[in-house]
Amino acid sequence: MATNELIEHCVNFDFMWDIFNHSDYSSGLNVVIENHNAMRELLNRKDAGKLIFNYYRKIDLNKITEINEPADKGKFAAKVFFLELFLSHANILDQFQGNEKDLIKGILRSHDICIDINVKYGKDFYSGYSIGTKALAIGRAIDNAKSRKSIEPAIEKMDLNRLSKEFYEKIIDEARKF
């Protein structure tokens, strides 16, 4: 299976939703990886980082405003979320060694577009896990770029419950200066 097909398969894999059944997203993703051969294969592909990022950047985030069914809006937002989890995985981050700035700026761009959509429509199309996970993924990419091991539990575990407003703002601010 080609890597792009593998990405499509993994992002639409029904059991990806199991990530939400765990105390943090890192633990949830690890369980999915343990039990899903395609996910393990994707994260070990040498071209996965570049292709996941290309896939991610091609998503028209404004499309969510055209979706009528709440469940379908959730599926759309989750697809973006899953891609951000993939991009923040250590195997994928390592593929960006020396080019983390592109990844950081790409996720930051997505973050800003989502915020702008929410403001423009006066609705939270993207909220909670959608916005916070972008900050956590950026935080992991920044740590990787600076060759530092995160000591921040929110980033280490991809745990939104540990992401304070202040820390969220610190990550976004650091990304803007990167």
The 3-state secondary structure of 44-109, one letter per residue = HCCCHHHHHHHHHHHCCHHHHHHCCCHHHHHHHHHHHHHHHHHHCCHHHHHCCCCCHHHHHHHHHH
Distance CA 153, CA 142 (A): 15
**Residue 81, domain extent:** 3-177
For residues 85 and 133, the answer to whether their CB atoms sit within 8 Å is yes
What one-character DSSP code corresponds to residue 15? G
Q: Could you read off the pLDDT of 121-139 as tens digits, one per residue? A: 999 999 888 999 999 999 9
Q: Could you read off the pLDDT of 8-22 as tens digits, one per residue? A: 999 999 889 999 999
* Number of domains observed in the structure of the chain: 1
Say what the pLDDT of residue 148 is. 85
Of 129, 130, 144, nearest to 175 by C-alpha is: 144
Residue 149 has pLDDT above 90, yes or no: no
For residues 176 and 161, the answer to whether their CB atoms sit within 8 Å is no
Q: Could you read off the pLDDT of 71-106 as tens digits, one per residue? A: 999 999 999 999 999 999 999 999 999 999 999 999
The mean-pLDDT minimum among 19-28, 34-43, 145-154 falls in 145-154
